[in-house]
Amino acid sequence: MAWAPFAGLALYDPRRDTAVSWLRSSEYPERIGAMSLLNDEKGTLWIGGNNGLYQLPQAHRFDYEKMDVFRYLRKISLPGPDTSLVTFLGNTGAYIVAGTQRAVHFIDKQYRGPRPRIFTLRYERDIAGVSSEQNAVLLDSKGYLWIGSQAGATRIDLQNLRFDTSATKIRLTEFQAGDALVPINDFGRIGRIPRRKRNLAFTFTPSGNTFLKDDLYFDIALVNQRGDIRYQRHGVVDKSYAMDYVPSGQYTLHITAYKHNVVSGQAVYRLKVPQNIDESPWFWLGVAALLLSIPFLVYRQRQRRKPCSCSSAPPPKRPNGSRTARPGPVQFLQPPFHQQRPALGAEPLPQRPRDHARHR
């Protein structure tokens, strides 16, 4: 047996006649204030807390003497997202019914998927009243579900209650960079974005049956090539968004539509934000090379303007009476006389007698 004071959660074991409580405290921020409880036919304990809905699977196997119950609770994300106080819980043949300060949620017990399918009736739009009252829920013998609020009681015929489960198609209708409109093709590609236009805005529309209740929520994410998320929104209903500044690079825009808490449609668009000239590394390399070359150019220019010292020296003077023949147009250089030695193995040539030998 468990009961839920708003200050925490308490448990009583009748076989051992033992009571255990887990109270809210600043030392234990994970603890919640429980307002409503429900144990279903599968042994799952549903807990309506001060900030949403939780469940404890196989609660009958929980060892309260060794474990902290709040460390084993699972948070159920309600559409909206609705994190308001859950004031009542009910169990019907097909749904777990949770009443909050904003809406009444019907959790489909037969649906199997990564996220639970949750149908929603919002106060002041779908049903009368502004919020649910504590434990004001009743399933009568005829199958009618009664819900109490400040405005009175509302009766719901569960046998004729039908929710829209059709698919949704998402399409970008406008994309703007600064004050310039950017074209969008049919292949998920956004056109060229002008340089120095970094504030981006876009509008999309979901297609579907306009006569059905609008029960769509959207997740939006702008992701770069490395997988980093530059812009993100969760569980929103608006269809127009603006980003103040987006750095250069290639991006993917993801828009996911959720209907009744499950994926109903997706759209993916690719875009490229070009670099400005002063953002390119080649631009700064060129600027650095130009600045470094200026001292060298100045030095070369000064060297060219400097006069040559070798042209001012006078020619050397020759002694008086000496004449210097001017070289003619053709000059003959006679190598100095030397006696050639015969090569090895060759006979020596006969030498011609000198002139003084002939006058003997």
Q: What's the CATH code of the domain at 94? A: 2.130.10.10
Identity of residue 36 = S
Together in a domain, 24 and 107: yes
Together in a domain, 215 and 99: no
Domain assignment present for residue 92? The answer is yes
CA 288-294-300 angle, to 5 degrees, is 145
The 3-state DSSP class for residue 355 equals helix
Together in a domain, 174 and 245: yes
Asked if residue 162 has pLDDT above 70, the reply is: yes
Mean pLDDT of 157-169: 90
Together in a domain, 122 and 174: no
pLDDT computed for residue 348 by the predictor: 53
CA distances from 340 to 192, 348, 349, 352 (A): 89, 10, 10, 14
Asked if residue 4 has pLDDT above 80, the reply is: no
The 3-state DSSP class for residue 37 equals strand
pLDDT band at 327, cuts 50/70/90?
low
170 has which bridge partners? 206
282-319 b/e (C-beta count within 10 Å ≥ 16 → b): eeeeeeeeeeeeeeeeeeeeeeeeeeeeeeeeeeeeee
pLDDT computed for residue 166 by the predictor: 87
Q: Kindly state the tokens that stand for 25.
A: 């405290």
Provide the CA 297 distance to its chain's centre, in angstroms.
48
Phi, psi of 20 (to 5 degrees): -130, 140
pLDDT computed for residue 342 by the predictor: 52
Boundary residue ending a domain (160, 192, 217):
160
Boundary residue ending a domain (160, 193, 226):
160
Together in a domain, 156 and 174: no
Asked if residue 316 has pLDDT above 70, the reply is: no
Together in a domain, 214 and 258: yes
Distance from the first to the final alpha carbon of the chain: 158
Q: Count how many domains the chain has.
A: 2
Using only C-alpha atoms, the chain has a radius of gyration, in whole angstroms, of 47
pLDDT computed for residue 358 by the predictor: 47
Contact (Cβ atoms closer than 8 angstroms) between residue 5 and residue 34: yes
Task: Tell me the CATH number at 272.
Answer: 2.60.40.10
Asked if residue 198 has pLDDT above 60, the reply is: yes
pLDDT computed for residue 121 by the predictor: 93
Domain assignment present for residue 155? The answer is yes
220 has which bridge partners? 233, 255
Range of lowest pLDDT (14-23, 41-50, 112-121, 248-257) = 14-23
pLDDT band at 165, cuts 50/70/90?
confident
pLDDT computed for residue 100 by the predictor: 95
Together in a domain, 6 and 138: yes
Domain assignment present for residue 239? The answer is yes
pLDDT computed for residue 11 by the predictor: 85
**Residue range of the domain that includes 17:** 2-160
pLDDT computed for residue 148 by the predictor: 92
Mean pLDDT of 52-66: 90
pLDDT computed for residue 6 by the predictor: 65
pLDDT computed for residue 221 by the predictor: 97
Q: Give 320's Cβ-side CA count (13 Å radius).
A: 0
Together in a domain, 11 and 150: yes
pLDDT digits (tens, 9 = 90+) for 87-144: 999 999 899 999 999 999 999 999 998 999 999 999 998 899 999 998 999 999 999 9
The 3-state DSSP class for residue 170 equals strand
pTM for this structure?
Answer: 0.70
Boundary residue ending a domain (215, 243, 277):
277
Together in a domain, 132 and 57: yes
Domain assignment present for residue 291? The answer is no
Contact (Cβ atoms closer than 8 angstroms) between residue 45 and residue 37: yes
Domain assignment present for residue 284? The answer is no
- What average pLDDT does the structure give for the chain? 82
Mean pLDDT of 175-201: 90
pLDDT digits (tens, 9 = 90+) for 264-313: 999 999 999 988 766 666 666 777 777 777 887 777 777 777 765 555 55
Together in a domain, 154 and 191: no
Domain assignment present for residue 308? The answer is no
Together in a domain, 145 and 179: no
CA distance 129 to 100: 12
Phi, psi of 131 (to 5 degrees): -165, 165
Q: H-type helices in the chain, by residue range?
A: 281-305, 355-358
CA distance 87 to 134: 5
